[in-house]
A and B are shown apart, each in its own frame.
Chain A
Amino acid sequence: MPATSFLARERTIAAPGYSRWLIPPAALCIHLCIGQAYAFSVFNLPLSKLIGISQSAPDDWKLTDLGWIFSIGIFFLGASAALLGRWVEEGGPRRAMFTAALCWSGGFLVSAVGVYIHTLWLIYLGYGVLGGFGLGIGYISPVSTLIKWFPDRPGMATGMAIMGFGGGAFIASPLSVWLMAQFSTATHVGVAEAWICMGLIYFCFMMVGAAIVRVPPDGWVPEGYVAPAQSSRLVTRENVYVYEALKTPQFWLIWWILCLNVTAGIGVLGQASAMSQEMFKGQVTAVAASGFVGLFSLFNMGGRFIWSSTSDYIGRKNTYFCFFGLGTVLYALVPYTGSIGSVGLFVACYAVIFSMYGGGFATVPAYLRDMFGTRYVGAIHGLLLTAWSMAGIFGPVLVNYIRQYNVDHGVPAAQAYNTTMYIMAGLLVVGFICNACVRAVNERHYMKDEPAGQTAAAMGGE
């Protein structure tokens, strides 16, 4: 029997009695691993001291050059998800998860060689390009499978997986520090060895996910679930082909919705520590600020599950109205917390803001499923992730440049972020308008070349 048959979609069709609750852990096996990307910064300082050991030597890599590793990775996340979405969708989740495991762990191993021979472009190629492909393929691989297994609660299902992406950093950060400590000596920084270990651990972990994942048989529905007989106002029973979705205004509205929500969130995410210290000088120390950042990350992760699960009850459009409406108020409130010196109110505002930032990521696959059906939702989600790549550039640039502009023009450091927060609140108002414009997809975009029964099956319908 050829080895590839293990990866074939037909081999992943669930036998009778298979529990759908095995799918979320399969998805988490992937997302908990690739979520390491959020914790990559723990390697930046050690990488800048590979030669000098205790401090950077002239031949050591600069932090500005090292920053490109993460940026290249995120760029290839978006690019690979967009380019390979259809391949992932049509080949089934196991083949995609296996490929993601190879790319992700391979990226670590290639990068370890790069560290060993002190060649930075090999790390760009390994972690950035190869790892970036692992990120993109891995991120979208379980999405449509989860939606097909949980037609009754698609938001909760995808929320669980995408929560794992946020949680991956919590595991990777202490694990990386511990591994480096095991291999570091007075004359050697143990980054290469740590990466070899992480590559092997992640490969095994992701392969467990690939082994247990299954797709539902045609026509399967959860016990007691009755699919709606007709499309409702904002939830279709039909399917839209992946590239046909690009021709709909709904795709581009949701693209902007995600981009604006992420731009606002990611912009302040990287600045949360510095912002809290500058806004509350003398009240918030660097150590306390790092505690805030850890707390915000927990809200970011928890929000992914809570908001996406809530969206199953209040609807996707209403959930995004919450993000944009409440978000606008909270972003505009942050400068006020600084002016009255209320650290507690500042932390409360930020905690909710970060929960909605994570919630935006986790709710969007279900929003796409409502608009375009389940058939190509993974591939369409892949195309939508280009919005994340764009936001990854816009957000930090907006915050950093506006702050610098203010400081250069004599604005006190404590108030240098005020304009930024008002601009972010303005972006959320635009997002609110985009969300208000979302209507059901015009029927002419629906797939017509498949019998109704097949469409219903793809929907997880009766």
Chain B
Amino acid sequence: MAGNSNAVKLILAWTFVGIPLVWGVVQTLINAIKAFH
């Protein structure tokens, strides 16, 4: 039970920071690719 609760917390925490970070990196990559073209 505690293991499941920990897993949920981990998924939530990493998603919380992961989504904006990945969004920012993707935006930068898109801009970089546009610039190269």
Contacts and interface: CB of A to CB of B under 8 A. Distances in A.
Interface of A: 17-19, 21-22, 25-26, 28-29, 32, 164, 167, 169-174, 208, 212, 287-292, 294-295, 297-298, 301
A19 B9 contact: yes
A294 B23 CA distance: 14
Contacts of A290: 31, 35
18 contacts: A17-B2, A22-B13, A26-B13, A28-B17, A29-B16, A32-B21, A170-B28, A171-B20, A171-B24, A173-B27, A174-B27, A212-B9, A212-B13, A290-B31, A292-B32, A294-B31, A298-B28, A298-B32
A291 B35 contact: yes
B25 to A, nearest CB: 6
Contacts of B10: 19, 21-22
Contacts of B25: 167, 170, 298, 301
Interface residues of B, number: 22
Contact of A32 (B20, B27, B28): B20
B6 A19 contact: yes
Contacts of B29: 294, 298
Contact of A25 (B2, B13, B24): B13
A28 B16 CA distance: 10
A25 B17 contact: yes
Contacts of B36: 288, 291
Given A19-B6, A19-B9, A21-B10, A295 B21 contact: no
B21 A170 contact: yes
A17 B9 CA distance: 12
Contacts of B20: 32, 171
A171 B23 contact: yes
B31 to A, nearest CB: 5
A288 B31 CA distance: 10
Contact of B24 (A28, A174, A295): A174
Contacts of A171: 20-21, 23-24
